[in-house]
């Protein structure tokens, strides 16, 4: 390992559907400076322009040497991380992103999935520190995540490890955007929370009267965010629906545990800010559903610690690690 590279700050970039967020990240995970640009998601070249603008701005302000640029983006990458196979919110389709950005930025690069980057950040600096096998589950619109085993981020044979949301938990259940039915994220995500609330409001408007009042009677405006806010304000139906999402979360964790036997499961993403409202029911369901329960330990289930900046922190550390190890 090169001690010089290991001790240098790195640039981390987190690319979402609406923004390119960047930060200068110290070796201890501290964010020293940040910048952002809008993501023109329909244009490959303009998205690369935004990435380059953030990198140039941060590099110029920082002044001192930077080890490289780590980039995490929503999408499916190949095993090497060089190529974006598909990105749902951006224009990349079989895009050789590492090659293209390498020509543009002329710095050492790490490129990969944003959930993988967030998982690595939680392993290195957050709730999964020093664990032997850590599963990261990101709860947002859907469910994603990452996997770290014995100190190594796992990409999988084809680069798409950690798509936990597409485990099928209900045969012939709700139709998922992936084309299958009954996927886990249809029952334990922000979208699932909104869908379940709309189903209740359709079948029993009286039971969902408080939620309907919040959206002016417009059923289509009942989202997971609306339900979460109602639960925080003490709405009993909203609280019950959140508990149901938590229970489904616990069932999925039990299924993952049957295969991987993780030491710790870290829950991140937007829904995770609800804390014990979701995590409490998840742990209760896990205790009931864990195979071999009573004769084997289960994983710790904990909230992520690094929040929305985990992706850029992890991406920065991954490029630092790659350069330090001579990869």
pLDDT at res. 58: 93
pLDDT at res. 299: 96
Average pLDDT of the residues in 55-65: 89
Distances from the Cα of 172 to the Cαs of 43, 178, 183, 188, 310, in angstroms? 37, 14, 9, 16, 35
In this predicted model, what pLDDT tens digit does every residue of 297-314 receive, in sequence order?
999 999 999 988 999 999
pLDDT at res. 214: 94
Record the tokens describing residue 213, joined without a space.
């009042």
Q: Are residues 319 and 67 in contact, defined by beta-carbon separation less than 8 angstroms?
A: yes
Does an H or E element contain 191, and which?
helix 190-203
pLDDT at res. 327: 66
Share of the chain above pLDDT 90, in %: 58
Burial class (CB in 10 A: 0-12, 13-18, 19+), 297: exposed
pLDDT at res. 24: 94
In this predicted model, what pLDDT tens digit does every residue of 93-134 receive, in sequence order?
888 888 888 888 889 999 988 999 999 999 999 999 989 999
- 245 has pLDDT over 90: yes
- 275 has pLDDT over 50: yes
Average pLDDT of the residues in 276-304: 93
- CA 56, 62, 63, 65 dihedral sign is negative
- 158 has pLDDT over 60: yes
Instruction: Read off the pLDDT band of 1 (50, 70, 90).
Output: very low
Q: Are residues 123 and 105 in contact, defined by beta-carbon separation less than 8 angstroms?
A: no
- 3 has pLDDT over 70: no
């Amino acid at each position: 390992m090169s001690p010089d590279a290991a001790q240098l700050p790195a640039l981390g970039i987190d690319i979402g559907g609406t923004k390119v967020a960047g930060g200068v990240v110290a070796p201890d995970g501290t964010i020293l400076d940040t910048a952002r640009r809008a993501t023109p998601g329909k244009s490959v070249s303009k998205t690369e322009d935004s990435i380059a603008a953030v990198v140039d701005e941060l590099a110029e302000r920082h002044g001192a040497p930077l080890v490289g640029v780590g980039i995490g983006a929503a999408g499916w990458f190949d095993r090497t991380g060089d190529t974006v196979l598909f990105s749902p919110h951006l224009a990349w389709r079989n895009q050789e992103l590492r090659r293209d950005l390498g020509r543009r930025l002329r710095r050492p690069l790490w490129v990969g999935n944003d959930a993988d980057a967030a998982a690595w950040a939680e392993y290195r600096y957050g709730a999964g520190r020093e664990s032997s096998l850590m599963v990261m589950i990101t709860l947002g619109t859907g469910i994603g995540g990452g996997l770290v085993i014995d100190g190594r981020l796992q990409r999988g044979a084809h680069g798409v490890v950690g798509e936990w949301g597409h485990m099928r938990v209900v045969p012939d259940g709700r139709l998922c955007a992936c084309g299958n039915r009954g996927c886990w994220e249809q029952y334990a995500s922000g979208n699932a929370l909104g869908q379940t609330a709309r189903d209740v409001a359709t079948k029993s408007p009286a039971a969902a009267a408080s939620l309907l009042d919040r959206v002016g009677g417009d059923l289509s405006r009942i989202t997971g965010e609306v339900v979460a806010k109602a639960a925080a304000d003490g709405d009993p139906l909203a609280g019950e629906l959140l508990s149901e999402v938590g229970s489904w979360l616990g069932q999925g964790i039990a299924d993952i545990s049957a295969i991987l036997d993780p030491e710790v499961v870290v829950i991140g993403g937007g829904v995770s800010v609800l804390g014990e409202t979701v995590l409490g029911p998840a742990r209760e369901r896990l205790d009931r559903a864990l195979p071999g329960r009573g004769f084997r330990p289960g994983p710790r289930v904990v909230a992520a610690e690094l929040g929305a900046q985990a992706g850029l922190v992890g991406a920065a550390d991954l490029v630092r690690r790659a350069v330090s190890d001579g990869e």
